[in-house]
Amino acid sequence: VLALTGKIKEVGEKLFASNGKEVTFAAALESCQKVKGTLATPTNEAENEAVLAFVKQYNRYAYLGFKESETVGTFKDLNSAPLNYTKWYQYQPNGKGAEKCVEMYTDGTWNDKICNAHRLTICEF
């Protein structure tokens, strides 16, 4: 258990964990699904802060569990549910359909991003 200190954060009913690895969106999602989780999908400020703690710990931007829908500029979670909470950086999203994934900056704000960049993997359970 001591080896996991700092590697797991609990917020409400969710657990967040990171392996510290930077990979593409597809590889990050696959690694989370292999351990019966999904990519971190913050739905409120407390969850966003928990994910941000990993981003700051590793000093790396991280992928979030959101994708652009068929409607350009509209993002949904990986179950295609609309987002009730967002924390977009000023003037984001601005990829106009070319940036279908979402990353978290080291200040906790979000940016739409291409999906083949290498970003930190943070899973949610």
pLDDT greater than 50 at residue 109: yes
Rounded to whole angstroms, how far apart are CA atoms 46 and 59?
19
Averaged confidence pLDDT in the chain: 94
In total, the chain counts a number of residues equal to 125
User: Three-state DSSP class for 107?
Assistant: coil
**E strand spans, 4-109:** 8-11, 14-23, 38-39, 62-68, 75-77, 101-104
The percentage of the chain sitting over the pLDDT mark of 70, rounded to a whole number, equals: 95
Is residue 101, in this structure, part of any structural domain at all? yes
Domain range enclosing 70:
33-124
Give the domain CATH number at 54.
3.10.100.10
Q: Indicate the pLDDT class of residue 74, thresholds 50, 70 and 90.
A: very high
Q: Let me know if residue 93 belongs to a domain.
A: yes
Q: Is residue 119 part of a domain?
A: yes
4 pLDDT exceeds 70? no
Phi, psi of 34 (to 5 degrees): -60, -30
Q: Does a structural domain hold residue 54?
A: yes
- Residue 8 pLDDT class (50, 70, 90 cuts): confident
The whole-number pLDDT of residue 2 equals 47
Indicate whether 58 pLDDT > 70: yes
- The number of distinct structural domains making up the chain is 1
- Residue 13: strand, helix, or coil: coil
Domain-located, residue 7: no
